[in-house]
A and B are shown apart, each in its own frame.
Chain A
Amino acid sequence: MTAVPDVGGVHAGTGAFAEVHEARPAMSSSARINAQISAGTAEVLTLEQVCERARGGLPTGVDLVTLAFPVAISGSAAVFVVPIAGRGVFTRAERISINGIPGHPGPAPNERLGVVDTLIFADERRLDDRNYDGASLFLELLQGRVVEAECHSVEGTTHRNAFALKAVDFARFYVYNASLPAGAASIRYLRDALVPGTRIVLNGSQGIIVGPGTRDRPDAMALSITADMQDMDADLMSSEGGRPRHVVACALPVRDVATIAQLVEWTGSAAGEALSCPAALRAATGLQQLIQKGQFQLSETGPIDAKPAET
């Protein structure tokens, strides 16, 4: 780890903060902060803490700000490898449902393997109970409940199996559209920081940003996110009296005080309600603690000004 540039003085709290950041090459900022995380010297604040401190002037010497926000569960699906029967018992699944929610077998046919790759959308509803949907199923799985799968094979046989999440080898959320709170699209810094490959936390489980969301627009920012379901926190996903939703937490490296000013201003806007709801505050604090314990590092993504490919 010899290439970590010497940036001593950042924590001195002097006015030199912005200058130090301008002087160093943009590409090594994540490496520098990761070295500080490993050494336990990174200064990490939640957005809530930043806003509190900002009342007495913008805080300096901050390396990372953690923040979180809820996103609608509609833009998401889960993929499970559902254990159904032994090897060779049937060739392929034609239809599958879990707790009555219709799933989509495939895309891999899993010929003669007895397990079925299954894609289930959050919005998929049970035919006999319109109030029970994919989102309800996901929450039950996170809560550790046993669910029942029913599979019809191409041979015409029917197989059933009851299982809990811990018995499943593969369970992952593919959130193809996670809309950020209002106003995010106008903060250039967020687009620069939340790029493909960026590590995030979804409902308490570490995952990554895949790219822009299906409904990302110049005036409305949205992301695609994935994370494994096994380590997720059901309490974050459940919303009292409402539909389950996802809670996304991210850690933003602080470029300069202007960055902090933008985030504080954003919190004071229409986005404030989402950024300050209890689940968001808990998720942002959870991520802060992960970083303080050295269990979360920033992604290294290379220089943001890489040349476009010559095609």
Chain B
Amino acid sequence: MPAQRSIAEINDRLARGEAVVMTAMEFKKEVRSGYRFKLGDVDVVTTATRAVMSGTSAILGVQVESGSGVRRIWMNGVPCMIAGHGDGQIDVAVHGTAESRDFPAGYGGGHLFRDLVSGKSVEVEWESDDGRSTSKAVTLSELPFARIYSFRNAYRNYSAFTNAKNRRSYREHPNTIFANRPLPYMKALTVSGSGELNPLENDPEARVIHSGMRILVNKSEGVVIGAGTRASHHGSNLSIAADMRGMDPEFMGGFKTRYGMEITNSVAIPIPVVDEDVLKNLSECLDENISLDIADLADRVPFTQATYADVWNGAALWVDFNADRCIVCSFQCPAEYFCPMSAISWREKSIDQTLCVACGACTANCPGGAFSGRDHAPRGRIGDVPVLGRIMPITYRLSNRRRVIELAAYLKQRMLDRSFFLADAGLPLRLSE
């Protein structure tokens, strides 16, 4: 029987303050420097991902005073689905991708969740069976229940998309969540995936990521429910849940796209090093070994590959606004217009870094070149990837490594502080072929 350790043993070591916890960044650095990890060197490696995560909803309990039944309900204009009512409380489900009727194309479920977590007051409006409309303001602390439920999150990396086939279906309907404007033929690439820091990439067979595992979602303690919708052995992903109380707004939020509202989340997962296979997977999971499928946007069928090193090696994790280069576009600042997080104010010549996800939409759309990735990033793009013998600019990057690094480090600290222990129900994920 190969050497192995149990989750309970590692928890024991955490409780005694003897456990060795490393972030994925620290672990990979050692691997690259030539160190070969042995079982017993490290107990837990913390991994994380932050990106657009479409499959996110919330279930909220709202107290309403209504003589008759409630027919329809909105929060800040975002339509809610009635899940149940009684005792003056309505349980509603809200999709992170739902769009507000009050601010179409500007506010959605993801914005609502961030506003609630920020402590802001939101307006609940409901229509009773008798046709009366009532509204009131609530804050998160006044909701008896508020939990994020996701049905598909934290993909084991993802794909890059370009317009490779110039299909008629795409030319006629260029709307997509993966790009903020129609992509020219083979001249722009949109990418997603946190590469070597991604939880499932570090545990590709889901040997230790199981149902019932304790995780962090936007810094709040949560749980892995199981495999997410469309999870397969090739593209695993998770269904997760976490209470909204305790979340950090900077790690989440609404995300405007060319095709409606989207939502971003951050997920951190501890990988317990229970046996040699887990250690081997962690050691082999390096950006340069992880292939990135490049697919046509119209049919989403991959036609070539690059690696995550092409995306993340030396990549800019911050975007800066050089006010001297702003040419004061007279009608509408394109960078401000295309910013999915509404982080840019051209009047104030500033980027709100608590919102910015460094997607690069501003770098690709500012005619004056006032926005650029910090350090070595080229102008007019957030990075480059070689595709079929040519250099293709990354014009849109939907994963945010800066927050990934912060979250993996935060989880490590929580474990060393003994405020976060491993949990595991031992139920493997159900992945389809």
The reply to whether A309 and B414 contact each other, CB–CB distance below 8 Å, is: yes
Known: A197-B213, A210-B241, A211-B223. A106 touches B230 (CB 8 A): no
In the complex, identify which listed stretch (A43-51, A54-62, A63-71, A299-307) lies at the interface while the others stay far away: A299-307
**Cα–Cα distance between A110 and B259 once the two chains are bound (Å):** 12
B37 interface contact, C-beta 8 A: no
B195 interface contact, C-beta 8 A: no
1/0 per residue A56-95: CB within 8 Å of B? 0000000000000000001101010100000110010000
* Interfacial residues of chain A within 229-266, with CB under 8 A of chain B in the complex: 230
What is the size, in residues, of chain A's interface with B at 8 Å between Cβ atoms? 67
Residues from chain B with Cβ under 8 Å of A121 in the complex: 81-84, 93
* Interfacial residues of chain B within 26-64, with CB under 8 A of chain A in the complex: 54-57, 59, 61
The reply to whether B300 and A303 contact each other, CB–CB distance below 8 Å, is: no
Taking the closest CB of chain B, its distance from the CB of A230, in whole angstroms, is 8
1/0 per residue B8-33: CB within 8 Å of A? 11011011000000000000000000
Residues from chain B with Cβ under 8 Å of A111 in the complex: 176-178, 259, 300
* Interfacial residues of chain A within 127-148, with CB under 8 A of chain B in the complex: none
A286 interface contact, C-beta 8 A: no
B147 interface contact, C-beta 8 A: yes
Taking the closest CB of chain B, its distance from the CB of A13, in whole angstroms, is 26
B173 interface contact, C-beta 8 A: yes
The reply to whether A109 and B423 contact each other, CB–CB distance below 8 Å, is: no
- Categorize the interface residue count of chain B: 35 or more
Chain A interface SS verdict (over half) = loop
**Cα–Cα distance between A62 and B425 once the two chains are bound (Å):** 22
* Interfacial residues of chain B within 145-161, with CB under 8 A of chain A in the complex: 145, 147, 149, 151-152
The reply to whether A214 and B230 contact each other, CB–CB distance below 8 Å, is: no
1/0 per residue B67-100: CB within 8 Å of A? 0000000000000011110010101010111100
Closest partner residue, chain A, to B55 (CB atom): A108
Q: Name which of B55, B96, B176 has the most chain A CB atoms within 10 A of its CB.
A: B55
Q: Which one, B12, B97, B178, B228, contacts A106 given CB within 8 A?
A: B97
The reply to whether A306 and B420 contact each other, CB–CB distance below 8 Å, is: yes
Q: Name which of B91, B259, B298, B300 has the most chain A CB atoms within 10 A of its CB.
A: B91
B6 interface contact, C-beta 8 A: yes
Q: A197-B223, A207-B226, A302-B214 are in contact. List 15 more A-B contacts (CB 8 A).
A: A1-B6, A2-B9, A87-B300, A91-B173, A107-B57, A112-B300, A119-B151, A123-B84, A196-B214, A197-B424, A208-B223, A299-B426, A300-B423, A300-B426, A306-B421
List the interface of chain A (C-beta within 8 A of B). Answer: 1-3, 25, 27-28, 30-31, 74-75, 77, 79, 81, 87-88, 91, 104, 106-113, 115, 117, 119, 121, 123, 155, 169-170, 172, 174, 176-177, 196-199, 206-208, 210-216, 224, 226, 228, 230, 297, 299-303, 306-311
**Interface pairs (7), CB distance under 8 Å:** A79-B151, A107-B57, A111-B259, A197-B212, A207-B211, A208-B225, A224-B241
